Structure 1
Amino acid sequence: MSLVLYGHPFSSYTQKVLIALYENGTPFEFRSLGPDTPQNAAEWLQRWPLQKFPLLVDDGHSVVETSIIIEYLQLQHPGPVRLLPADPMAALDVRFFDRFFDLHIMDPVQFAVAGVLQRIPLKPEEGLAQARERLERAYAWIETQLVDKTWATGASFTLADCAAAPSLFYADWTHRISDTYPLLQAYRARLLARPSFARAVDEARQYRPLFPLGAPDRD
């Protein structure tokens, strides 16, 4: 098998790539990174010493950064679901929303987690407060963008939705999406019902106690 993915099932960015692989039924080998698989960690760090995952290896060629990995898969291992449109302007829109969900939804969640784990020079409650403020602004904006849309950029499931699914999944755990944002609530529910993401969520279910902010008893 030429494709190998290094990551962790509970990692939002690993899930982002898993969604793309599952959408197209792309064959691959998953090598989980954790204390019980030191050999996988050694291989991963040898290929990418910056210590970030996921990492995709295709017949010896390493590919990093989730958005790049998904675009690479479309170029080298295309499937029935095209995750980036052929039209350049439509593709630009998809790339923008991909960055929006990574930078303005997932990043505040990671900031809150870092505060609880004392990886930033803030008290946990201060980090969480800042994260919630950022998420509230992002929720308000994305609500206005979802009018008459099934997925992030329209009728088709794309790279943007691969980013949105894990981002909104963990964001809602961090700062609940209120009834003020019914379109966003419905969009998150559609993402959770999508078979590719539902599979990723189920595969990570056993790791929920690891969520530093406390995983709610839902989803």
Structure 2
Amino acid sequence: MTDLALYGHPFSSYTQKVLVALYENATPFAFRNIGPETPENASEWLRRWPLRKFPILAEGDRTVAEASIIIEYLQLTQPGPVALIPEDPMAALDVRFLDRFFDLHVMSPMQRAVDGALTGDPEKRQDAMAVAVETLDRSYAWLEEHLAGREWAAGEAFTLADCAAAPSLFYADWTHPIADTYPVLRGYRARLLARPSFARAVDGARKYRHFFPLGAPERD
């Protein structure tokens, strides 16, 4: 029985980011779903992390917060066959930069559009979507050039950067579809969806799609 527990929600993009890392290395863990049907999980989550953000990873008395840091922690304490952060410091720096790129320039604008929709105010929804579209268009264009000739975000190896890319591009394309003029980026997103670790995370969240406030498309 493992002492490792992940607190989060299957439909949460940052929870999925960590799930991909755990599934990549078949790391044993217990999933603690945070929802109205499991108040005991929510209580323990808030006791451990009163800032009310998930996911968090719990191992004994240690609590690890923030998805990227959780994956770093897993690499240190639960190393497996897939090295999600390269040993070479410069290569690792590239991976960490890309991780931040996907979180800040893809995930964040997508979330802004979602938050705007959740207000229920049509004007706020429109304004948030306009900002998201502008940012995502710039990000898509940069990624189209960056990913040329690469299988994964940082090169030939699947890394932390791809753990970040998978849920961010998944939901970003729902929010502002990646145009046909970005075939490289569209191909990369398709490879992420076909990766067993992310496919498992997507399938685990399928029943929650009706919660997506912008309307989940009939695909993926």
The one-letter code matched in structure 1 to 2:77 is: Q
1:143 aligns to 2:152 (yes or no) = no
Name the SS for the 1:63 alignment partner.
Answer: strand
Q: In the alignment, what sits opposite 1:79?
A: 80
Q: In the alignment, what sits opposite 1:70?
A: 71
Q: How is 1:16-27 mapped onto 2 (pairs within 5 angstroms)?
A: 16-27=17-28
Q: CA deviation at 1:60?
A: 2.1
Name the SS for the 1:67 alignment partner.
Answer: helix
Q: Is the Cα contact below 8 Å between 1:57 and 1:63 reproduced in 2?
A: yes
Question: Take 1:97 and 1:122, find their aligned partners in 2: how far apart are those partners?
Answer: 33
More off after superposition, 23-32 vs 56-65:
56-65
Question: Take 2:56 and 2:114, find their aligned partners in 1: how far apart are those partners?
Answer: 22
Q: Is the Cα contact below 8 Å between 1:109 and 1:131 reproduced in 2?
A: yes
Q: In the alignment, what sits opposite 1:216?
A: 217
Q: CA deviation at 1:168?
A: 0.2
Question: Take 2:64 and 2:121, find their aligned partners in 1: how far apart are those partners?
Answer: 29
1:36 aligns to 2:71 (yes or no) = no
Question: Take 1:48 and 1:91, find their aligned partners in 2: how far apart are those partners?
Answer: 28
Q: In the alignment, what sits opposite 1:93?
A: 94
Name the SS for the 2:189 alignment partner.
Answer: helix
Task: Report the TM-score when normalising by structure 1.
Answer: 0.98
- Matched residue pairs, number? 219
The one-letter code matched in structure 2 to 1:210 is: F
1:129 aligns to 2:118 (yes or no) = no
Q: CA deviation at 1:163?
A: 0.1
Name the SS for the 2:205 alignment partner.
Answer: helix
Q: In the alignment, what sits opposite 2:51?
A: 50
- Runs of 4+ deviating beyond 3 Å: 119-122
Q: In the alignment, what sits opposite 2:177?
A: 176
Aligned-residue RMSD, C-alpha? 1.3
Question: Take 2:128 and 2:19, find their aligned partners in 1: how far apart are those partners?
Answer: 29
Q: CA deviation at 1:118?
A: 1.6
Task: Report the TM-score when normalising by structure 2.
Answer: 0.98
Q: CA deviation at 1:113?
A: 0.7
Cα deviation, 1:46-101, whole Å, max 9, x if unaligned, reads 00000000000012210000110001000001011000000000000000000000
Q: In the alignment, what sits opposite 1:11?
A: 12
Q: Is the Cα contact below 8 Å between 1:6 and 1:44 reproduced in 2?
A: yes
Q: Is the Cα contact below 8 Å between 1:9 and 1:15 reproduced in 2?
A: yes
What are structure 2's unaligned runs of at least 5 residues? none
The one-letter code matched in structure 1 to 2:46 is: L
